[in-house]
Homo-oligomer: A and B are copies of this chain.
Amino acid sequence: MKKVSYLNVNVTGGFWKQKLDMISDVTVDSVYDRFKETHRFDAFDCSWKEGDPDQPHVFWDSDIAKWIEGLAYSLKNKPNDKMVAVADEVISKIEKNRDEHGYYNSHFLVTGERFTDRSEHELYCLGHLIEGAVAYYEATGKRALLDIVCKYTDYVEKIFVKEDSAPFVTPGHPEIELALVKLYELTGEKRYLELSKFFIDKKGNNPKDKPLYRGCNIYYNQDECPVRERQTAEGHSVRALYLYCAMADLAYYYNDKELFEATERCFENIVNRRMYITGATGSTCHGEAFSIDYDLPNRVAYAETCASIALALFAQRMIKLCDDTKYADIVERTIYNGILSGISLDGKSFFYVNPLEIDLDFNKVNTCTENNDHMPITQRLEVFDCSCCPPNVIRFIANIGEYAYTHTEDTLYVHQFMESDSVIDGMKITQKTEYPANGKVEFTVTDCNKKQIKVRIPGWCDSFDLHYDGEAVTEGGYIVITPEDADFSFEVTFDMPVKFIGTNRRVHENAGRVALMRGPVVYCLEGVDNGSDIKNIRINPKGDFTVGEADFLVPSIIGKGYIEPHSDEFYYDITAPVEYEEQSVKFIPYYAFANRGESDLLVWILAFGA
């Protein structure tokens, strides 16, 4: 199965066109402004010296590289000459300031010894530069950055493989491994693929690779076992998921069954035991890491935006290895929930950490010490000291077209639904849809050269209507259309009722509570709509919940809640059946929370009889 590049998919309207326009019109420039203000662009002058302010950080290059990658993808939607000029200037500075081997890092070029410490993100930064270079070349045809990263990669191959002269073998933060696969895909140079395989094969239990950072053990950066022996998803969640991306890529290109099975074990472990309903992962702030099975705290969720993105990147790669619809289901879960919650509706600000519950009354509880338990911030910020998430959101959303399709010789797979005109392997396919506002998708195909079209039936969907004048069956989670003509059309409407969702009872955090979903969208209650006592609101999952206004692209959901009357009593006898007060409750999409000022938030709602 092959991917279909975003370059082949024109998103023309609906939900994702709105998001693409936001990225093009606002986010690319806004993140540029914040990175400029925080001297991340100045770092490429390589003129910092001891005593100067604003020392370039070891991973600042990756921020800019992801921004370049995101800018490149966004050009498919709209041109942005001003920002392209900025990118060109950055690239020319790298070209000018790199050393004679092709090495480039804005921090180490001005401060010290290179490749001495695997925790220092140098290969991570190179990985992002490679991804940026590939995207920028594909979008603009300019190959300056591509040439830069190829030369730098040759140097890395020399000292890590040929000379084996570096004091460590594998990088502390996986990223270059998956980037090298992209470089191979673009250039066809097998040695890039092999360099990736080298890092992957050497990963884990490697005596030359020391644990990172005081207080972290070998699980933190996936060093506890060789990759093929991996049973569970452990440690820093973004590092882990980038590693699994590369493992999936190599399983694909080398047809490596052991690698595939290891990635599959990690996937299953995550999605059945360690993932929030929003597709977010990495529940603990300690090490920004996967916790143990079923440990999914809502208020102190870590749930980094980059980890949701990384899970989508991983799941999309798994699709190419196996046509089980569960992978695209997870992509869908992340893109409408845990990823989109990471960016404000105006496109300017970001969550690094995405809580599933905010209780403002108790957000700052200590009155006599400076210490406080880790409590996520309640409003998005435009930039962070560690600002990995903002450009990651840009590059992910700007590339959303890539998630719509994959194909084989004889089959076109439709994974995600978005209004679009696409040309795939010579055939044209359009989708007309307001998905996920409703479940109707109209497909028009011309010049069909495939034997079948497989349309994913979303995992959340129990029934659908198909209008097609021809042969169609349901098989393996897909609607399988076998066309009789080169040109034809069909229409699918996935029934999209309000659903209440329970959690496996081993997730003690959610005991007695349910979440509301409609289609792929997870909903929440916010204080601004429902008062600050949302933790006490009970709903009846069998009650009447109706679709309201589409305040945030998809409809809000309106229904009845029940709450005990206010009382001054502290502890009181429950002597008679409690006479609940009714109040209207309004659910909004989780991705839209914290866009109307600071507010209480709740995904998991008390429920009668659930």
Contacts and interface: CB of A to CB of B under 8 A. Distances in A.
Interface stretch (A144-152, A216-224, A467-475, A550-558): A216-224
B369 A220 contact: yes
B574 A368 contact: no
B502 A574 contact: yes
A609 B369 contact: no
Interface in A493-541: 499-506, 508, 511-512, 514-515, 533, 535-536, 538, 541
Interface stretch (A108-116, A185-193, A251-259, A287-295): A287-295
A220 B371 CA distance: 12
A506 B600 CA distance: 13
B365 A284 contact: yes
Contacts of A506: 361, 533
B361 A289 contact: no
A606 interface: yes
B511 A606 contact: yes
A463 to B, nearest CB: 12
Nearest to A504: B570
A253 B572 CA distance: 35
Interface in A218-258: 219-220, 234-236
A366 interface: yes
B368 A287 contact: yes
Mostly helix, strand, loop or mixed at chain A's interface?
loop
Given A220-B369, A369-B287, A362 B295 contact: yes
A163 interface: no
Contacts of A291: 365-367
A385 interface: no
A567 interface: yes
A544 interface: no
A295 B541 CA distance: 29
A583 to B, nearest CB: 13
A566 interface: yes
Contacts of A300: 373
Interface string A253-292: 0000000000000000001110101000000101101111
B511 A361 contact: no
Contact of A502 (B372, B515, B571, B606): B571
A359 B572 CA distance: 26
Contacts of A219: 367-368
A608 interface: yes
Interface in A574-610: 574-575, 577-578, 606-610
Interface of A: 215-217, 219-220, 234-236, 271-273, 275, 277, 284, 286-287, 289-292, 294-295, 300, 359, 361-362, 365-374, 462, 499-506, 508, 511-512, 514-515, 533, 535-536, 538, 541-542, 563-564, 566-575, 577-578, 606-610
Minimum-distance CB pairs A-B, first 8: A219-B368, A508-B535, A220-B368, A287-B368, A287-B369, A286-B369, A286-B371, A235-B368
11 contacts: A215-B370, A219-B367, A235-B367, A272-B568, A284-B366, A287-B366, A287-B368, A291-B365, A502-B573, A502-B574, A504-B571
